[in-house]
Structure 1
Amino acid sequence: MVLLAASWAGFFLARNYRERPQQIRQLRSALSLLETEIGYGTRPLIEACEAIAERMDGAISAIFARCAENLKQMDGASTYECFQQAIEQQWPHTTMKKPEKLVLLHFCQTLGRSDREDQLQHVRVAKSNLEVEEMKAREEQGQYEKMCKTVGILCGVLIIILMY
């Protein structure tokens, strides 16, 4: 039981390293969809967020669904406040870290405050910044994923040895 529990903990930590690049890639895809909506779409931001939520999975979908809900319910609040609250609520359910959150929050500060071309430029900058973070996350994955699994198993073995 001790070995299984320690191994599970190691595999759980390794899962976070494996899922982080995937979630960053999903977030980049969501921003690409938003870029398309801004550039070519005629939908309001609420409908665009709902459409993105439908096309994405998991935590990224939840962020955009919560954004759409906030935009509907938070009468008088700015677009940034609606997005910020959604991000703050849903971020603990992601495996992403603070740099990705800061990129997204910085992008949300500009959303709806300027003309179409300027917003498209901000989307491109955010996607570029997330691409850099994804590369860093892949490097971390390569360094730490296997190590977490191994350390979990070895800690379990060590505890068993110390118990006898």
Structure 2
Amino acid sequence: MGFEYAKRLSDRPKQLRQLKVAVQSLEAEMMYGLTPLAQAAEHIAKQLPKPVSTVFDLFSEKLLEQEHSAFDAWQASIEVVWPRTALLDSEREVMLQFGATLGQHDRDQQQKQIHLTLAHLAREEQEARERQHRYEKMVKSLGFLAGLLVVILLV
């Protein structure tokens, strides 16, 4: 259990970095490439590893179905994929707030929202790295020692 928790601690900063890259790529696709949102999400999904790519893949699929608004498609994608990530609810809220602005504003306002989201993700990534450095070794050691205690008690 200790090693599994330590893996989650180390996966969280990686996934936050991937989310930042994804949001930056989305900005480039929307602002400079003038790519439609569904196609931009599809391109981003191909560039990233799972589980972050799955968010953008599902988002693209739901947009192409044309039964969902951009926010509904984003929210549904986040809700499906989030349990498979090492990310916390605070990051989920940041991404949901970002999704609420997708396609709702002009290019300048959209770009401001993207930069705000990137700032939030950078802050969360810094906190995740600090938490990883602080607790990763301790959690691994506690997991190993707890396993050793169980073995000793069983013998």
> What residue is the counterpart of 1:43 in the other structure?
35
Q: CA deviation at 1:132?
A: 0.3
Q: CA deviation at 1:120?
A: 0.4
1: CA distance, partners of 2:71 / 2:153? 54
TM-score between both structures, scaled by the size of structure 2: 0.97
Amino acid at match of 2:9: Y
Amino acid at match of 1:82: A
- What is the total number of aligned residue pairs between the two structures? 155
> What residue is the counterpart of 1:98 in the other structure?
89
Contact 1:59-1:90 at 8 Å conserved across structures = yes
Q: Secondary structure at the match of 2:87?
A: coil
> What residue is the counterpart of 2:112 in the other structure?
121
Confirm whether residue 27 of structure 1 aligns to residue 11 of structure 2: no
TM-score between both structures, scaled by the size of structure 1: 0.92
Amino acid at match of 1:78: S
Q: CA deviation at 1:156?
A: 1.0
Contact 2:15-2:52 at 8 Å conserved across structures = yes
Confirm whether residue 59 of structure 1 aligns to residue 36 of structure 2: no
Aligned pair partner of 2:98 in 89, 103, 107? 107
State the identity as a percent: 39
Confirm whether residue 132 of structure 1 aligns to residue 92 of structure 2: no
2: CA distance, partners of 1:93 / 1:44? 27
Q: CA deviation at 1:74?
A: 4.5
Amino acid at match of 1:141: Q
Q: CA deviation at 1:163?
A: 2.2
**Which has the bigger relative contact order, CA under 8 A and spacing at least 6?**
1
Which segments of 5 or more consecutive residues in structure 2 lack a partner in the other structure?
A: none
Q: CA deviation at 1:68?
A: 0.3
Amino acid at match of 2:128: A
1: CA distance, partners of 2:154 / 2:95? 48
**Deviation by residue 1:7-41 (Cα, 9 ceiling, x = unmatched):** xx221110000010000000000000011112111
Q: Secondary structure at the match of 2:138?
A: helix
